Amino acid sequence: MATARLSTRVVIVGAGPAGTRCAETLVAAGFKPVLIDENRRDGGQIYRRQPECFTRDYATLYGTEADKAGDLHQSFDRLRGQIDYRPDTLVWNLTPGQLCSVKQGMHTTVDYDALILCTGATDRLMPIEGWQLAGTYSLGGAQIALKSQAVSIGHRVVFMGSGPLLYLVASQYVKAGAVVAAVLDTSPLSKRILALPKLLARPGLLFAGMKLLAQLYRAKIPVYLGIKPLQVLGDAAHGVSGVRLRTASGKTLAVKCDAVALGYHLRPETQLADLAGCLMRFDEASSQWVLATDEDGRTSINGIYAAGDGSRIRGADAAECAGRLAALALLRDLRHPVDVRQVEEQRHALKVMDEFRIGLAQAFPWPSAQAKALPDQAIVCRCEMITAGELRKAVSEKGACEVNRAKAFSRVGMGRCQGRYCSQAGAEVIAAAAGVSVQQVGRQRGQAPVKPLSMLTEEVSP
């Protein structure tokens, strides 16, 4: 068999569900891919493995997903030795055919012929007045604190936002013994009922979601639907002291807490694909820019593939399928024999999950109207501490009706996070101020480094 093809240098970025299944499929075909992961351990975010010295069991850590987590971890452990695994390593930039990676200050370039990006997702955030106060976390951040370090973000925690993660993290906190002051969902019940037909594409998952809600009610956690977040209360010296909101019936309510977790579902991490020049497209269902790929994960650039939430937010089960499928797509492109039935199976599974994804987006919509309603004094960009008013001025006084221009004039998206946490909300503010659709104001272009890079970084010969 063609050893030339087997010598194709394949690099996978990300060792979550997509990256693991992708590596597994390639190893089964006789390849030895390089697998680079930013985390210390495999599993990604959802199946994040706790530090070696921690002893919580799978049921405690992963709840209903314990079996899947166990299966993925075991699969990964079997791959060790058959892949070139590089944990704790950040790919901070790339050029055609070469990745720039850094591990503990040591810089190494990694050549590739084929690249599969399984870079996952982060929280999708909508600003609220006061969200710069210490004690404000993203939902994902709150979950990682618990999952990785068995730490709660506060003594008395409010969960506010929308999406499945809101209920999942709140119930994980309840289960861990934390005081959950309230769960505040911006989505009204009516949206969920409308989305039911699509959500029924995965009845098991829908049932699991309802069970989470039931657990919260049983624990007597106040759950409000259809709320409007108004403010995170507190001051710079003492941090968060509560949240203020308007209930669905129009009453203003304050809930005391010392920490708040915010989030509206997820956004894909597309910086590497963006730096590679891969095309993006606007996804109407979730109202955000995502990577343009074909059904199997091929991007617009030859030899670059994408899978998992970094490509399209469909969750962990879909990420496993997409990881396999991207590997199979690469194998087919290399004219390597592939079991066509397996391809069809994965495609079919993904179709069902895509239906569910659209249902979720309907049930827990991105609250774009909140951006328009943000008071001028609310901070949009927390890294640079730029207010909604300043951003609006870039539009109204300086004519910046495009995201990158508004960034140049206002600094929104210029800080440490490089727009990962503020640029989507910023785009909504710009669109509302300019009176155009959010799609029309474009998206923030990616710039290296993917994450902050230490100036102590030194080159080592590969």
Partner 1 sequence: MTVQKADVVIVGGGIMGSAAAFFLRQRGQSVILLERDQIGQYASGVNFGNVRRQGRYLGQLELADRSYGLWKRLPELIDDDLEFIASGHLRVCYREDEIVELQAYADAPEAVQLDLKIFRGDELHKRFPFLGPDVKGGSYAPHDGHANPRLAAPAFARAARRLGAQIEERTEVAEVQKVGGEFSISTTDGRQFSAAQLLITAGAWGQKLSAQFGEPVPLETKGPQMAVTEPVPYALPTVIGVYTKIEEEMIYFRQIPRGNIVIGGGYRSKPDMLTRRALVEPRSILNQFEQMRRLLPGVGNLNIIRVWSGIEGYLPDSLPVMGPSGTVDGLYYAFGFSGHGFQLGPGVGDVMAELISTGSTSTSILPFSINRFASSVEQRSKVS
* Contact residues: partner 1, CB under 8 A: 93, 95, 100, 107, 109, 384, 398-399, 402, 405, 408-409, 414-416, 418, 447-449, 452-459
* C-beta of 94 vs 329, nearer to partner 1: 94
* C-beta of 93 vs 362, nearer to partner 1: 93
Structure tokens belonging to residue 54: 């921690």
Helix (H, G, I), strand (E, B) or coil at 390: helix
Give the Cα separation of 413 and 381 in Å (integer). 6
- Nearest approach in angstroms of CB 275 to partner 1 is 9
* C-beta of 96 vs 203, nearer to partner 1: 96
- Nearest approach in angstroms of CB 456 to partner 1 is 5
- Nearest approach in angstroms of CB 83 to partner 1 is 25
Amino acid symbol at 93: N
Q: Are strands 106-111 and 252-256 parallel, antiparallel or unpaired?
A: unpaired
- Nearest approach in angstroms of CB 38 to partner 1 is 15
- Nearest approach in angstroms of CB 442 to partner 1 is 12
Give the Cα separation of 422 and 381 in Å (integer). 6
Hey, how many other C-beta atoms are within 10 angstroms of the C-beta on 204? 9
Residues facing 101 on adjacent strands: 91, 108
- Nearest approach in angstroms of CB 306 to partner 1 is 21
* C-beta of 297 vs 413, nearer to partner 1: 413
* C-beta of 60 vs 404, nearer to partner 1: 404
* C-beta of 347 vs 405, nearer to partner 1: 405
Give the Cα separation of 328 and 297 in Å (integer). 10
The CA-CA-CA angle for residues 354, 35, 351, to 5°, reads: 10
Residues facing 188 on adjacent strands: none
Structure tokens belonging to residue 381: 């960009």
Establish how many alpha carbons lie within 13 A of residue 145's alpha carbon, considering only the half-sphere containing its beta carbon. 19
Phi/psi-derived region of residue 351, left when phi > 0, alpha when psi is between -120 and 50, beta in every other case:
alpha
Q: How far apart are the first and last CA of the chain?
A: 29
* C-beta of 95 vs 252, nearer to partner 1: 95
H-assigned helices in 133-277: 139-149, 164-176, 189-199, 203-218, 271-275
- Nearest approach in angstroms of CB 93 to partner 1 is 5
